[in-house]
Amino acid sequence: MTEELLAPLVPTFFRFPDEATGIAALDEAGLLTEDGEFITSSHTHALDVVGLIYRGGEWNPETGEVVVPPTLLDGWHVNYKGELPDGWEAYVVYPQNPARVWASAGATR
Protein backbone atom coordinates (compact mmCIF):
# COMPACT_ATOMS: atom_id res chain seq x y z
CA MET A 1 0.00 0.00 0.00
CA THR A 2 1.31 3.44 -0.85
CA GLU A 3 0.33 6.69 0.77
CA GLU A 4 -0.02 9.92 -1.09
CA LEU A 5 2.32 12.48 0.42
CA LEU A 6 0.76 15.82 1.13
CA ALA A 7 2.58 19.06 0.56
CA PRO A 8 3.75 20.67 3.81
CA LEU A 9 1.07 22.76 5.46
CA VAL A 10 2.14 26.37 5.11
CA PRO A 11 0.75 28.73 7.75
CA THR A 12 -1.11 31.65 6.29
CA PHE A 13 -2.84 34.58 7.94
CA PHE A 14 -6.14 35.91 6.63
CA ARG A 15 -8.11 39.06 7.34
CA PHE A 16 -11.68 39.12 6.10
CA PRO A 17 -13.49 42.48 6.09
CA ASP A 18 -16.01 41.21 8.66
CA GLU A 19 -17.22 38.05 10.39
CA ALA A 20 -20.04 37.41 7.90
CA THR A 21 -17.59 37.42 4.97
CA GLY A 22 -15.19 35.15 6.87
CA ILE A 23 -17.91 32.67 7.83
CA ALA A 24 -19.16 32.59 4.23
CA ALA A 25 -15.61 31.89 2.99
CA LEU A 26 -15.16 29.11 5.56
CA ASP A 27 -18.50 27.59 4.56
CA GLU A 28 -17.68 27.74 0.85
CA ALA A 29 -14.32 26.06 1.55
CA GLY A 30 -16.10 23.22 3.39
CA LEU A 31 -14.69 24.22 6.78
CA LEU A 32 -18.01 24.33 8.62
CA THR A 33 -20.17 21.45 9.81
CA GLU A 34 -23.89 21.32 9.02
CA ASP A 35 -24.42 22.88 12.47
CA GLY A 36 -22.12 25.80 11.63
CA GLU A 37 -19.23 24.61 13.81
CA PHE A 38 -15.66 25.17 12.61
CA ILE A 39 -13.78 22.12 11.29
CA THR A 40 -10.46 22.99 12.89
CA SER A 41 -8.33 20.12 11.60
CA SER A 42 -8.07 17.18 9.25
CA HIS A 43 -5.31 15.36 7.41
CA THR A 44 -5.13 18.24 4.95
CA HIS A 45 -5.69 21.39 6.98
CA ALA A 46 -5.54 23.18 10.31
CA LEU A 47 -7.79 26.14 11.13
CA ASP A 48 -7.46 28.68 13.96
CA VAL A 49 -10.32 31.19 14.06
CA VAL A 50 -8.90 34.26 15.79
CA GLY A 51 -11.85 36.59 15.13
CA LEU A 52 -11.51 40.18 16.30
CA ILE A 53 -8.10 41.45 17.40
CA TYR A 54 -7.54 44.23 19.93
CA ARG A 55 -4.19 45.90 20.66
CA GLY A 56 -3.01 47.99 23.57
CA GLY A 57 -5.15 49.46 26.29
CA GLU A 58 -4.52 50.25 29.93
CA TRP A 59 -6.33 49.06 33.05
CA ASN A 60 -6.27 50.17 36.65
CA PRO A 61 -4.47 47.28 38.42
CA GLU A 62 -6.48 47.74 41.60
CA THR A 63 -9.98 47.98 40.14
CA GLY A 64 -9.57 46.41 36.70
CA GLU A 65 -11.30 49.48 35.27
CA VAL A 66 -10.36 50.44 31.72
CA VAL A 67 -8.23 53.60 31.72
CA VAL A 68 -7.39 53.60 27.98
CA PRO A 69 -9.53 51.28 25.84
CA PRO A 70 -7.73 48.87 23.52
CA THR A 71 -7.81 49.54 19.79
CA LEU A 72 -9.87 47.23 17.60
CA LEU A 73 -7.98 46.27 14.44
CA ASP A 74 -9.79 46.10 11.12
CA GLY A 75 -11.30 42.81 10.02
CA TRP A 76 -12.05 39.31 11.23
CA HIS A 77 -9.00 37.05 11.39
CA VAL A 78 -8.25 33.40 10.65
CA ASN A 79 -5.01 31.42 10.67
CA TYR A 80 -5.01 28.52 8.23
CA LYS A 81 -2.59 25.79 7.15
CA GLY A 82 -3.30 23.77 4.05
CA GLU A 83 -4.06 24.18 0.39
CA LEU A 84 -5.35 27.69 -0.20
CA PRO A 85 -9.13 27.65 -0.64
CA ASP A 86 -10.49 29.22 -3.83
CA GLY A 87 -11.02 32.97 -3.53
CA TRP A 88 -8.98 33.41 -0.35
CA GLU A 89 -6.03 35.07 -2.13
CA ALA A 90 -7.58 38.51 -1.65
CA TYR A 91 -7.63 38.05 2.15
CA VAL A 92 -4.01 36.97 2.75
CA VAL A 93 -2.11 39.29 5.10
CA TYR A 94 1.49 39.30 6.31
CA PRO A 95 1.42 40.66 9.87
CA GLN A 96 4.72 41.77 11.40
CA ASN A 97 3.54 40.77 14.87
CA PRO A 98 0.76 38.18 14.57
CA ALA A 99 -1.71 38.08 17.44
CA ARG A 100 -1.58 34.28 17.43
CA VAL A 101 0.79 31.82 15.76
CA TRP A 102 1.08 28.06 15.43
CA ALA A 103 3.34 26.21 17.84
CA SER A 104 6.41 24.85 16.10
CA ALA A 105 7.57 21.26 16.32
CA GLY A 106 10.80 22.41 17.99
CA ALA A 107 9.05 24.47 20.67
CA THR A 108 10.06 23.88 24.26
CA ARG A 109 8.02 24.38 27.38
Q: What is the pLDDT of residues 61-90, one digit of tens each?
A: 999 999 999 999 999 999 999 999 999 999
- On average, the pLDDT of the chain sits at 89
Check: pTM over 0.85? Answer yes or no: no
Q: Give the long-range contacts of residues 37-45, CB within 8 A, separation 24 or more.
A: 43/6, 44/6, 44/82, 44/83, 45/9, 45/80, 45/81, 45/82, 45/83
Q: What's the confidence (pLDDT) of residue 1?
A: 46
The pLDDT tens digits for 13-34 are: 999 999 999 999 999 999 999 9
